[in-house]
Amino acid sequence: MKCLKIVGFLLLWTLAGIPAGFALTPVEDSSEDIYWSAPMTVHDYDKNTDLHNIALSTVSVTELEFLKLGDDLINFTTRSNKSPIARSLDSLEYAYSKLPQLKSVQWFGQFWDALQLRQLSLSDARVLSLFLFTADPYGGATSMMRVRADKLIIFVEDTVHGIDNTLMLPFNWGLSSLRDKPTKIKSLGYVADGLGVLRRGVFQSLDYVNNKLTLFGSDILFGVKKIQDTLIRHKRKKEHGRLPIYAKMPLAIFEKNRSHFKSKKKNAFAGTVPEWQARLLYDPELLPDDIQPADFPLLENFPTQSSSQEVIVATEYTLWEKVPRELKRYVITPDEVAELVRP
Amino acid sequence: MEKTFLFLIGILCLAHTGTGYAQDRLSANSPNGPLPDSKVLVIFVDSLRPDILDKMVAENRLPNIKRIFYDQGLRFENFFTIFPSLTVASYGAFLTGNYPDQSGLKAMSLFERFATRKKNIFERIFRIDETFPRYYDLITDREKAPEILKRNKAKTLYDYLGETFHSTVVPVIPTLAPPAWPHLAANEVEHPYITATESRKIIDDINGKYALRYMVPDRRAKMLMVWFNQLDTDQHKTPGGQFSPQVQKTLENSDQWIGRIYDALVEESGGRHPYVVLFSDHGAYGGEHGVYNQPYYMGHDLFYKTFKMNVRGPDYSITYPGTDQESYVYIDNMGYGQARIFLPVADSLSGNWVRPNTLYELTHYGLGPNRKPVNLIRELLDIDLKERNTFPVTIGPHPVDLLFVKLSDNLIYVARQGGSEALIQVENRNGILFYRYKPVKNVSQNEHGALTYDENPLEDPLGYLKDPKFRAPDAAEFIREYHDSNGWLEAAYETAYPDAVAAIGRAFLWKTELAPLARSQDPDIWISAAHGWNFRTDVIKGTDHGPIFRDATLATLMISGPNIRHGVDPSPHHIIEVAPTLLQLIDYQGKTHFDSAPIEGIYEMS
């Protein structure tokens, strides 16, 4: 039961934070497109199937007002769009608003409004039942319950203020006349003021906690999405792991990192620009787009080269992914390779 | 028992008579000030252009706005927002009554090169790592903007007023949504099983209904803030923008809500009229005569394709396979009419994010070991899209109108395509900022930071020297002197770049207490789009905001209510003047930290 309650709360808090959002659209042939690189994510607030949206919409269904559901049911069975319950209540409220605006009428109106009876929904029923069964003092607060509590306490504050005004009326009237300016001294009003301060403090704290928990709930959903993202990345890497990556670096750098390019299963080709050009002459159809690194064994030596000489390296993505970070700055695009090796 | 009950009823009836007495005594009318114990209803229509409002009112399509603000009340013809003309930043200026240098809320996206504060206790206990550089979209990460304001100790209207400030969902809100708002949204949508996506499409209706149901009856509230956002959302994806009848229908819908909320508030207050303020956070550009803004995907076309750099933005990312994914340029293009560019120091692959680049580094910017350095300033200003310009007769081929670089804490470089340049110098004199705008040419900086330039008395990037609308007997002489924000606004408000000098200054500066944030959060380059262009990432024909020129910064402000004079105020005003004015209307007596005084001369006898 406790667990259910936590889930319920998380979902509700998520509901409070309806965010606008953007989905990332990958550019063709970019790392995001091929490998679903971060920050690519399945998170997309515009999709109805997004986990955040599903959570939010699920909670929303429990927020549907009983009166609205009743009207919908009547509308559906009578195939009309009259919403008789809402209309009747509207008429009643309208009639009430047309009563002479005596203070007592307003007082009752405020009390009625504080109850928020039209807003009763499944979410209240759910939380009330939890409240009854678990006797947990924090179990009864949905967003509408919070509104009701707030409005009811305000109603009490206003009522106490009203009583105070009445009790102090002769005194204040006399004092105002004597001083020739409006003067107001309170008695019970201080109790109402104190209640107001307490109410604001409590609700501010609750709102703060609520905000934090909403974000925490959202983070949990993001955690689920991260798992999904990781799975997609893994799958994409498997599918496109053999795609070639090109890099141009000084020979000295290459020699220093030569060990990273050796692998039992995977291999790399490295050569100077003239060597690449020679291979192109030998098989002009081969490079750069259709390079198969397995066809080009890694040379053990680069004879007759000076240390300032640059080499072009071609590797499979899965091999290149593991090379030290400082080597990644040497990556060049296939277009640039084509430009370099063009005889 | 019966007697006790009757006694209680009697007390309660009398109780409210007492309240009535108190109100009668307070409502002494003074025509040169606000009515005591008043409420203010603030209607915030996102991006609303004042000329569109005038046109639609003249066509009798906005009957409620007409009766509240045109048949009575005061309209401000020259009301300007900050730069960048973006929702979160502008609303932040409105909400705090502070320029961005005071609040630290400078755009719609936050980019941090490195940490500028200690981790909080929670992060320390659980050893939560923070990785830098990092960035947030302040629209999606809604909790961030209030956090920034709180951290920077910028007080907002909701801080001053507490529970007497009641708003719908707005761009900057301390709680994620008002408590009853999600419940209302769930019951307003047509298909509750997709509330999440559907509620965003009818946010104006939900906000309107929320105002009617929860704000109007709120007896505690002194200031009611209602946001209508759909106009802005729609204009971004409609070629005619606010000039199109389709988008104007959104405004007609807002007008209906404004009428209903206003009438309900009057009824709720027993016939007493509240103060009503209609304002927009910024204007919009494009759309007139069918000329929409053409997208230039700068991140892709220039930085990714030409410079071979990895690029990231608030809602996009393009990287080359095999490269270091953490080496990138960050381009914040939010609002689409401006872009803030953040680069690693000296070289796109340096991975060094300790500070913004110097002008020298930007003009000799490295692109890694395999490519030649480029002059980013020239490259950006010289982007030429004549081959794909759909409107060659009316729209120029260069998408970048103006470019800004911060050279030091009090010096900003301004450049325009074609070679005109200027320096904005800022001086703090006893807490008041004074600005000097110096037209120059041939600006350059050597690697040691020494700046050289020639004075240029003939041409300036904002065009003030040649603009007959620049209100100074001798523009050149005026420009030679330092002036405060008001001085510059008075002089330039009729030009194509009203308030630009102070707005650029404030966009880059930081108040002393926030100065340590500069190195982490200042952009390397800030650009403002030219008419007819934007920096979108998708091919959508629409209209936008964000730039510094007139259409984007000219916003709407109207006030109506007891003792407010009727007519049009042609004098220039700034968005930061609104918050103090609002607090004056409700007779707020607490201490405030505004950058401006209330607007003068709004009352009948003033």
* Interhelix angle A103-115/B2-26, nearest 10 degrees: 100
Helices (H), B189-308: 195-201, 203-210, 230-235, 245-268, 298
Global ipTM? 0.86
Chain B: residue nearest A183 by CA? B22
Cα radius of gyration rounded to whole Å, chain A = 36
- Name the phi and psi angles at A141, rounded to 5: -105, 95
Tokens encoding A36: 């679903």
Cβ contacts of B116 within 8 Å, gap of 6 or more: B516, B517, B520, B521
Going by pLDDT thresholds of 50, 70 and 90, the confidence category of residue B463 is: very high
Residue B308 with chain A: CB contacts under 8 Å: 332-333, 336
Judged by CB atoms closer than 8 Å, whether chains meet at B17 and A166 is answered as: yes
Residue of A nearest to B134 (CA): A39
* Contact status of B220 with chain A (Cβ, < 8 Å): yes
B125 versus B235: the higher-pLDDT residue is B235
Q: What is the pLDDT of residue B3?
A: 52
Pairing assessment for the beta strands B432-445 and A331-332 based on DSSP bridges: unpaired
- Which residues in chain A are contacts of B9 at CB distance < 8 A? 104
Nearest residue of A to residue B369 by CA position? Answer: A330
CB-based contact, B18 to chain A, within 8 Å:
yes
Rounded CA-CA distance B313/B330 in Å is: 5
Report pLDDT digits (tens) over B147-198. 999 999 999 999 999 999 999 999 999 887 898 998 999 999 988 888 888 9
User: How far B307 CA sits from the closest chain A CA (Å)?
Assistant: 11
Which are the contacts of B326, defined by CB distance < 8 A and separation ≥ 6? B351
Residue ranges matching CATH 3.40.720.10 in chain B: 42-103+152-283+554-585
Q: How far is CA B548 from CA A227, B403, B469, B521, in A?
A: 43, 11, 17, 20
**pLDDT tens digits, one per residue of B260-312:** 999 999 998 989 999 999 999 999 999 999 999 999 999 999 999 999 999 99
Note which residues in 371-410 of chain B have CB less than 8 A from chain A.
none
Q: What is the pLDDT of residue A306?
A: 61
Longest dimension (CA), chain B: 96
Candidates B126, B128, B197, partner chain A, best to mutate (most A CBs within 10 A): B197
CB contact under 8 A, A166 and B18: yes
Name the 3-class secondary structure at B428: strand
B270/A150 CB distance under 8 A: no
CA distance A254 to A267: 14
3-state helix, strand, coil in chain B (%, to 5): 35, 20, 45
Nearest chain B residue (CA) to A25:
B316
B131 touches chain A (CB under 8 A): no
CA distance B132 to chain A (A): 14
Name the pTM for this structure: 0.91
* Tokens standing for residue B386: 């004549």
The yes or no reply on domain B42-103+152-283+554-585 and CATH 3.40.720.10 is yes
- For residue B332, give how far its alpha carbon lies from the nearest alpha carbon of chain A (Å): 14
Measured between CB atoms, does B29 come within 8 Å of chain A? no
Interface test with A, best of B11, B195, B202 (most A CBs within 10 A): B195
- Nearest residue of chain B to residue A20 (CA atoms): B140
Which range has the worst mean pLDDT, A77-91, B220-234, B337-351, B433-447? A77-91
Average of per-residue pLDDT values in chain B: 93
Q: Which of B461, B358, B447 is nearest to B403 (CA)?
A: B461
Q: Which residues of B, range 344-373, sit inside 8 Å of A by Cβ?
A: 349, 368-370
Output the pLDDT for position A156.
96
Q: Which residue of A has its CA nearest to B187?
A: A64
Give the closest-approach CA distance of B420 to chain A in angstroms. Answer: 35
B269 and A CB contact within 8 Å: no
B96 contact partners, CB below 8 Å, separation of at least 6: B102, B103, B105, B149, B154, B155, B156, B157, B576, B579, B594
pLDDT in tens, B25-72: 333 445 678 999 999 999 999 999 999 999 999 999 999 999 999 999
Among B139, B85, A19, residue whose Cα is nearest residue B93: B85
Per CB-CB distance under 8 Å, the chain B contacts of A319 are: none
Size of interface A-B (CB pairs under 8 A): 235
- Least CB–CB distance from A144: residue in B174, B183, B320: B183
Residue corresponding to tokens 């080269």: A305
Contact B13 A103 (CB under 8 A): yes
Return all residues near B444 (Cβ < 8 A) that are at least 6 apart. Answer: B359, B360, B363, B451, B452, B453
- Within 8 A of B172 by CB-CB distance, chain A residues are none
Contacts of B314 (CB under 8 A, 6+ apart): A22, B108, B109, B135, B137, B140, B332, B333, B334
Quick: pLDDT tens for B15-32: 443 333 333 333 344 567
- Contact residues, chain B, for A121 at CB < 8 Å: 183
B472/B494 Cα distance (integer angstroms): 11
Cis before B547? omega within 30: no
Q: How far apart are the first and last CA of chain B?
A: 59
Across the range B230-253, mean pLDDT stands at: 97
Q: Which residues of chain A have pLDDT under 50?
A: 1, 3-22, 131-140, 286-289, 291, 293-296
pLDDT digits (tens, 9 = 90+) for B345-377: 999 999 999 999 999 999 999 999 999 999 999
Query: Among A256-260, B223-227, B498-502, B575-579, which stretch is predicted with the lowest mean pLDDT?
Result: A256-260
Say yes or no for a CB contact (<8 Å) between B304 and A329.
Answer: no
Question: In angstroms, rounded to a whole number, what is the distance separating the alpha carbons of residues B462 and B421?
Answer: 9
Predicted pLDDT at A334: 87
Q: Closest approach of chain B CAs to the CA of A207, in angstroms?
A: 7
Q: How many angstroms separate the CA atoms of B341 and B339, rounded?
A: 6
| Set of chain B residues whose Cβ sits within 8 Å of the Cβ of A37 | 317, 319, 325
Contact A329 B349 (CB under 8 A): yes
Residue A22: which of B169, B177, B315 has the nearest Cβ?
B315
